[in-house]
A = this chain, B = another copy of it.
């Protein structure tokens, strides 16, 4: 313990400087203009892994953004841990809401503020530094592989192919991921379930051009009004999703399990206060944690039509658009759900408009068992550094590749996330507390220690 804390204390400032170098590269995967930044970020990662002491590291091409692969094989008879993370980040808009520029990391109130501070540059970087620490202090007990991709935020479109192609290279006993959150700084938790995702874009076209709303208003279907009506119809009065067949494959969680889950610490008043909500919202018959943990959902992520500038423009728009995503639970197939959505949306479109429905990306849900050695090792590591046992939780978020890893590589993942809800990932002013960053670097080597020990038995 002293060795770990001592090494962190000595190298603190350098760790942050190196992380900041990565953050300063605006590697937004969803925008084509940032293509060159993707390669820069990948090269930066390669250097970091090499300098930490890897045997080798390389930037490997895919049909999209490259994957950084690195490894340190100390003894082929020892277990192998593969670290998965991503160097790409979300877009930054609305840019005007950022208090400091998103790609200039800024420390205030003990937090790093920047896009990617948590998701996932900050979190994945903890692994690079924990790896360096174990090598430099001669405490590395396992073989280590790194697979850091650049398309997580756009659905890891090329990673499944990459895994199929490099199955041998990527052999491992466990995949270690920090891309999720924990309940609070004093309540460590391990994510044991992730939701799947089906992300769609819809276009509703009315007249073939924008019209004057005075001359045509009332006589021509307004695609914005029609889209609103179609979106509204996707939930019933109990906030159930109305797409036929949507719930068919959802596994009903029994009362006992729900009672167990309800024991996780949660304060509804605080939740509402933090988000400034008068009331929460959701599917009738379920609690807030159940709504994000065990139930599928449907949300508009973006919606646009007509005139959106200042003042008034009396236009009857030709087209209206929405990005709509569904979070799925284990046993729901994202491709099947995308198909059901498409079919339903086309079916409910009235005769006076044309609709186009496109699946933008998706992924399957994932559940990790509590009895595997990696879970136990993680539990012990957190117990050492936080002084209490971590709580197993189901996250509402999705990391689509986690299900792919199991399917293609036959390897389970352990999700040791150190983020907080207040980190505002995907939002303006994303942050990551210094406490969590350094606590992560401290906890990870202990995971390796206990994992190696448990695997030896």
Binding site for B on A (CB under 8 A): 29-32, 90-91, 93-94, 153-155, 181, 195, 197, 199, 201, 206-222, 224-225, 227-229, 231-235, 275-283, 288-289, 291-292, 295-297, 299-317, 320-323, 325, 327, 350-352, 354, 360-361, 395-398, 421, 424-429
Contact = CB atoms under 8 A, between A and B. Distances in A.
A302 B292 CA distance: 31
A89 to B, nearest CB: 11
Given A212-B427, A219-B281, A280-B219, A315 B327 contact: no
Contact of A327 (B213, B276, B321, B396): B213
B309 A276 contact: no
Contacts of A232: 225, 228-229, 231-233
* Central interface residue in A232, A311, A350, by most chain B CB within 10 Å: A311
A323 B307 contact: yes
A220 B289 CA distance: 11
Contact of A279 (B29, B216, B352): B352
B307 A275 contact: no
A323 B305 CA distance: 10
A282 to B, nearest CB: 5
Given A215-B292, A281-B221, A316 B304 contact: no
A289 B216 CA distance: 9
A150 B282 CA distance: 49
Top 9 nearest A-B pairs by Cβ distance?
A218-B297, A214-B397, A30-B311, A221-B281, A224-B300, A228-B231, A232-B232, A208-B276, A302-B306
A307 B225 contact: no
Contacts of A361: 312
* Central interface residue in A29, A208, A305, by most chain B CB within 10 Å: A305
A315 B427 contact: yes
A224 B202 CA distance: 14
Contacts of A215: 181, 292, 395-397, 421
Contacts of A220: 275, 277, 280-282
A93 B304 CA distance: 14
Contact of A312 (B306, B310, B325): B325
Contact of A231 (B219, B225, B421): B225
A222 B314 CA distance: 27
A295 B279 CA distance: 39
A106 to B, nearest CB: 18
Majority SS of interface residues in chain A? loop
A302 B315 contact: yes
Contacts of A197: 214, 314
Given A218-B297, A280-B219, A207 B275 contact: yes
B301 A316 contact: yes
24 contacts: A31-B310, A91-B307, A199-B314, A207-B276, A207-B277, A212-B425, A213-B301, A213-B327, A214-B395, A217-B297, A219-B281, A219-B282, A220-B281, A222-B299, A222-B300, A224-B301, A225-B231, A225-B300, A228-B231, A229-B235, A278-B351, A279-B350, A301-B315, A302-B307
Contact of A210 (B278, B322, B428): B428
Contact of A299 (B217, B283, B309, B397): B217
A301 B278 CA distance: 30
Contacts of A421: 215
Nearest to A271: B219
Contacts of A303: 224, 227-228, 303-306, 308, 320
Contacts of A218: 282-283, 291-292, 295-297, 299, 327, 396
A429 B318 CA distance: 14
* Central interface residue in A217, A309, A427, by most chain B CB within 10 Å: A217
B427 A211 contact: yes
B309 A426 contact: no
Given A229-B231, A303-B308, 18 more contacts: A31-B311, A93-B309, A209-B275, A210-B424, A213-B325, A219-B289, A221-B280, A222-B281, A224-B302, A228-B231, A278-B352, A278-B354, A279-B352, A301-B307, A301-B315, A302-B306, A312-B361, A314-B398
Contact of A195 (B206, B214, B323, B428): B214
